[in-house]
Amino acid sequence: MENDASLERAAKIFHFPYSSAAVVTVVSAAWFYPWAPLLVAQLGRVLGWSPETRIVRGLIHRRLVPAVFMLAGFFLLDRVRDLVAPVPPPRATILMLEMVAGIVVLGGMLYRHVFDGDGEDHDPLHVRTAAALRAGARLILACFVVALASVLLATCCLGTIIGNGTLIAIYLAIAIFTCCAPIDGLVAYAVSQPGPLRLLRMVRRQPSDDPSARCGMVLIWLGTLTWFGGGALPVSSSSTRWSSARRPC
């Protein structure tokens, strides 16, 4: 694979075979068993978050790794917050800690221009990716600020809805990304080998050197539609959180 440029994506994901298998298993289990008991679902999410973090850390630039570890810490704190759901004061305290940490980490990364990418890299794709990352980081930072201000102003329910909604959207995006990455790598490897997949018109008519590029775009669109669907992959107990957020604080 190292001698074939079209297999670069497959080579990257094959560095994490066990983590990739674990992620696909956990995410697909949540899809096949949407009404699993809450304790079983929570256990599956906790077990799946470690390989997800490992895959994301290996596929992104090292400058973005602090944000990944921050989200991993948030995820574990959220599991603690779910356990103390009937007790409002600890829930509000944990939420404020998450929002403060997110503001500090994201604010520092934006201040140091971490999301700007390499100044010498003028590839249009990389430039658009860096711009999207900056815009996303600013939007998340604004949501964290509003959620923290709402909690401090005793508008606990509003702060919980905004804070939880932002975190759930991030967790869902990470789960979809780490589930699509192994599939993309397997497709890239499969279409590069002699076989029936090479007979597909979408593969034969691919103008670039990478015959799996169009398949990768299909995965991107499917992942995006799933993310906009809001819960097709139930990474967090969103229904529980939203219902608890509507209770009196």
pLDDT per residue as tens digits for the range 144-194 = 999 999 888 877 788 888 888 888 888 888 888 888 877 877 777 777 766
Averages of pLDDT over each 10 residues, the chain, 249 residues: 63 80 82 80 80 84 82 82 67 84 89 71 62 87 91 81 88 84 77 67 58 70 80 42 42
Single pTM value for the model: 0.73
The whole-angstrom separation of Cα 61 and Cα 219 is 21
Q: Residue 52, exposed/middle/buried by CB under 10 A (0-12, 13-18, 19+)?
A: buried
Q: What is the pLDDT of residue 85?
A: 61
3-class SS of residue 85: coil
What's the pLDDT at 237? 41
**CA-to-CA distance for 233 and 164, rounded, in angstroms?**
16
Helix (H, G, I), strand (E, B) or coil at 194: coil
Residue 230, helix vs strand vs coil: coil
